[in-house]
Structure 1
Amino acid sequence: MCLKEINKCVFILGMSILTSLSHAQESRYSFEKGMMGSPFKLVFYAKNDSIANIAAQSAFKRIEKLNEILSDYRDGSEINMLSAQSGSGKWVPVSDDLFNILAISQDISKKTDGAFDATLGPVVQMWRHATRKGVFPQETEIREAMSKTGYTKMKLDSKAKRVFLSQKGMRLDIGGLGKGFAAEEAVKVLKSFGIKSIMMDAGGKIVLTNPPPGTKGWNITISNGSDSLKTMALSHIALATSGPTYRYMEYNGIRYSHIVDPKTGIGLLFHVRTTAISPDGTVADALATAFSVAGIEKSKKIIALFPDSKVWLVEKQGEHVADWNTLE
């Protein structure tokens, strides 16, 4: 063996040792905080307690800032102030964060033929009140709320970062992709501290970066809503799961999902569980809702527009269970 080859081998061995030492110096940290109405859990690997604590608090601070902008529960949030100007005939300048999430929403609405719709606020509000009272909304209430919805009634000006809401009484609700967006932004904050191996779980909306040191991926277990489980080693990907297990309204023996069909204004009846996997957390979150609404047959066509995404969708009508899984 020539001297040049020996030096090359020594260099490679040295780099391998340095990489191993770097990983060995990293410890696993876990932080959890209730935010956006759900537990937000951060798991990552960092060099020391100081970096881990500062990074985690910075990530949570970023999420709280987004909540101030995007929450439809807060009267003074930016999204509610925008909704209040619907039907005014004005283009309203908005922050980069609000514009970006609305732009993603509109893109998905167009590709899914409205199966996802951020203008469903009036219908969502109606169902919240109905669920609290335990009374099914009247047909006139549903028609009235539906008349104020429709993603085509929202226009975006990408150059000036402005939004136009054409009809009075519109109310935006980005609950269907807000947590995925927040998870992505939190990961960006952690990366700015030099942290590379991250799992961000925002109430079931999960964003993953590099695998934990010495592993092939983060072990994530996915359920079909009953007894079938699938564990996958994942990295550099995002996933979101949606189902009416905990959030639903039961009326006259019928269970209505908290996910509302934008075309009928009524909660889904046959949906059991949807898991969407995508390179981006915001998209995964929105697709989990869109696929749930569209159902298996329509989703088979929609997924062609999202070639980097996968889905596991389960529906039940009576005793018949339909299961469509592209995660393999």
Structure 2
Amino acid sequence: MNKIFKYKSRWFLCLLSLMIFIGCTNQSTQTKELAVSKTPLTETETYLDTVVQLKIYHDGQEKVMEEAFDLVRHFDDIWSPNGTKSEVKQINQAAGDHPVKVSKDTIDVLLDGQPYEEKSQGYFDLTVDPIVRLWQIGTDQARVPEESEIKAALPLIDYQQIEIKPDEQTVYLPQKGMGVQIGSIAKGYIADRLKELFESKGITTAIINLGGNVVVMGQSPSREDGWNVGVQDPDETRGEVVGSVIIKDSSIVTSGIYERFFEQDGKMYHHILNPKTGYPVDNDISGVSVFTKESVDGDALSTTLFALGVKDGLALIESLDEVEAVFVLKDHRVITSSGLEGRFQLTNDQYKMETINAYRGN
């Protein structure tokens, strides 16, 4: 039985920008407003199994850049599934035995996921680790599990069983074999923490890109209305976009079935798993991009929308404030939430726009 493993970068954005001058406050003030540099300070490294690229559009911010990557390394240490300092690994190993003392960040990221576990009716579930371990998609050991294995794992997936005690900073999984998997929300959380760091240093113009989780700070120096952000064509590895939208001080998170997958016996199996069935989500979506103020929200929602499908996903987006989404379907139709109608510009003639009205509830 042949397996063909294909991995595609999760670079799902095209950010078009040049620099403009922002200005500087009086030197006598306690906090100096940083002037914008014509060329950004850029650093790219690999952590959390993804490419992390940070761009700071101000001169002399090498120390801040160093602090930013120290922060990324910290999260890589405590959240990598198999790291020696991994708090996620400790929680999972202690399942059914004892609570584990963890950092405030681990408590916070688990709590951040709870509203979306509820809103999605369990289609977004941070205890999905038992089936993630079975499939191992994204590794050389990826495989299609036996149906008996999946049936045995499904009862262990239940976000309502997680016992989180913020005051004691402990997490407990009551059944042996349970496990948390925070990859569906971690990068969004980290992007928000990096933005907070930059803001505390007076940085106003920057791009934070954690492999598909992008935060743009301020506005593009080449235009006064924001950043022109392109939504990646999920059928292409990189560079080709479906369309674009202008955003400012915002996050965009894009997920697609072509990010991480493998083929077995001529069938493709992608990494977005349905916690209720134990198999990859099977619907007509190939990519979804979510626009939010906080990146952690977009991260959780991108997975949630995939599982819910277009109709229920749009209904959820329409019920939320300051949240928008672009759905790219396998048949090359593109549907946006109502707040992006007239704002999202389709630029790829291989795709066609479809009105949201076709998906509104009766």
- When normalised by structure 1's length, the TM-score is 0.85
Q: Which runs of 5+ in 1 are unaligned?
A: 1-15
User: Using the alignment, how far apart are the partners of 1:175 and 1:108 within structure 2?
Assistant: 14
User: Using the alignment, how far apart are the partners of 2:24 and 2:65 within structure 1?
Assistant: 26
Query: Which amino acid letter does the alignment assign opposite residue 187 of structure 1?
Result: K
Q: Which residue of structure 2 aligns with residue 263 of structure 1?
A: 276
CA contact (8 A) 2:53 2:209 kept: yes
- Matches for 1:1-328 after TM superposition, within 5 Å: 26-27=37-38, 28-46=40-58, 48-49=59-60, 52-88=61-97, 90-128=98-136, 132-133=140-141, 135-213=143-221, 215-216=223-224, 217-226=226-235, 229-270=242-283, 271-316=285-330, 320=331, 323-326=334-337, 327-328=340-341
Cα displacement (A) at 1:132: 3.0
Out of 211-220 and 196-205, give the one that drifted further: 211-220
Query: Which amino acid letter does the alignment assign opposite residue 122 of structure 1?
Result: P
User: Using the alignment, how far apart are the partners of 1:129 and 1:199 within structure 2?
Assistant: 29
User: Using the alignment, how far apart are the partners of 1:192 and 1:300 within structure 2?
Assistant: 35
Cα displacement (A) at 1:87: 1.2
CA contact (8 A) 1:111 1:305 kept: no
Q: Which residue of structure 1 aligns with residue 360 of structure 2?
A: none
User: Using the alignment, how far apart are the partners of 2:269 and 2:148 within structure 1?
Assistant: 19
RMSD over equivalenced CA pairs, Å: 2.5
User: Using the alignment, how far apart are the partners of 2:252 and 2:213 within structure 1?
Assistant: 6
Q: Percent identity?
A: 25
CA contact (8 A) 1:224 1:274 kept: no
Helix, strand or coil: the match of 1:115? coil
The alpha-carbon distance between structure 1 residues 118 and 73, as it changes in their structure 2 partners (threshold 3 A), is same
Cα displacement (A) at 1:93: 3.2
Helix, strand or coil: the match of 1:256? strand
CA contact (8 A) 1:148 1:169 kept: yes
Greater C-alpha Rg: 1
Q: Which runs of 5+ in 2 are unaligned?
A: 1-21, 26-32, 342-362
User: Using the alignment, how far apart are the partners of 2:314 and 2:198 within structure 1?
Assistant: 36
CA contact (8 A) 1:109 1:115 kept: yes
User: Using the alignment, how far apart are the partners of 2:290 and 2:276 within structure 1?
Assistant: 22
Number of equivalences: 306
- 1:6-29 alpha-carbon deviations (Å, 9 max, x no partner): xxxxxxxxxx9867xx77663422
CA contact (8 A) 1:256 1:269 kept: no
- 1:211-245 alpha-carbon deviations (Å, 9 max, x no partner): 14463322211135247622222221111111122
The alpha-carbon distance between structure 1 residues 74 and 131, as it changes in their structure 2 partners (threshold 3 A), is closer
RCO comparison, higher one (Cα < 8 Å, 6+): 2
The alpha-carbon distance between structure 1 residues 129 and 260, as it changes in their structure 2 partners (threshold 3 A), is closer
- When normalised by structure 2's length, the TM-score is 0.77
Cα displacement (A) at 1:251: 2.5
User: Using the alignment, how far apart are the partners of 2:267 and 2:77 within structure 1?
Assistant: 36
The alpha-carbon distance between structure 1 residues 203 and 129, as it changes in their structure 2 partners (threshold 3 A), is closer
